[in-house]
Structure 1
Amino acid sequence: MDDKQTQSMVAKVIGTGAALAAAFLVNQVLNQAWKAKTGHKPPRADDPGDAGLSEIVAAAALTGALVSMARVLATRGTAKFAAKTS
């Protein structure tokens, strides 16, 4: 394996780690913000059926959008950093 392939593999591993960390962080912030606003945690799939449909849809949309955005930004940031360092 040449040096370019090794750097590419390292960049992919670091990018994946950054994306996972960003998704975890956004999820934690969203949970805290939801709890501050509503007084309880956002509904989850394994929760009993006490949440309304509108609350479930809002939680799913916010979580999906924010986690996806964080993952994309972390991955792109890592790729740009790797390109600058090579």
Structure 2
Amino acid sequence: MADRGDLGFRVTAGAAAFAGGWIAKKAITLAWKKSTGKEPPTNPESPDVALAEALGWAVVMGVGMELARLLATRATARQWAKGTGELPSHLKIDV
């Protein structure tokens, strides 16, 4: 079970990942509009949306959201280590 420090980190990292995801979605949507000149598909699963457009949106959103989550979590880990002097136990690399 996670100790209090790990639990605190997980809550903080989760909040940072949520905020990063929200910002990423806004940025990706804006970039999509600028690059395609169209609104992103609201329902890519619909047969009325072209397959290429649906796949493009899924790839861009998937990569963008995961990248935002990764960067937010890494930034949180870096700040956590600065504040506590060590990384949470689940992020330590056994050497």
The TM tier, using the shorter chain, reads 0.7 to 0.9
Structure 2 residue aligned with 1:54: 52
User: 1:1-86, aligned counterparts within 5 Å?
Assistant: 5-45=3-43, 49-86=47-84
Instruction: Give secondary structure in 2 for the equivalent of 1:33.
Output: helix
Task: Provide the C-alpha distance between the structure 2 equivalents of 1:42 and 1:57, rounded to a whole number of angstroms.
Answer: 11
Task: Provide the C-alpha distance between the structure 2 equivalents of 1:35 and 1:62, rounded to a whole number of angstroms.
Answer: 13
User: How large is the Cα RMSD of the aligned pairs?
Assistant: 1.8
Q: Normalised by the size of structure 1, how large is the TM-score?
A: 0.81
Deviation at 1:41, TM superposition (A): 1.7
Deviation at 1:83, TM superposition (A): 1.5
| Identity percentage of aligned residues | 32
Deviation at 1:38, TM superposition (A): 2.0
Any gaps of 5 or more consecutive residues in structure 2?
85-95
Higher helix residue share: 1
> Is contact 2:45–2:54 with CA below 8 Å preserved after alignment?
no
Instruction: Give secondary structure in 2 for the equivalent of 1:36.
Output: helix
Deviation at 1:48, TM superposition (A): 5.2
Q: Normalised by the size of structure 2, how large is the TM-score?
A: 0.74
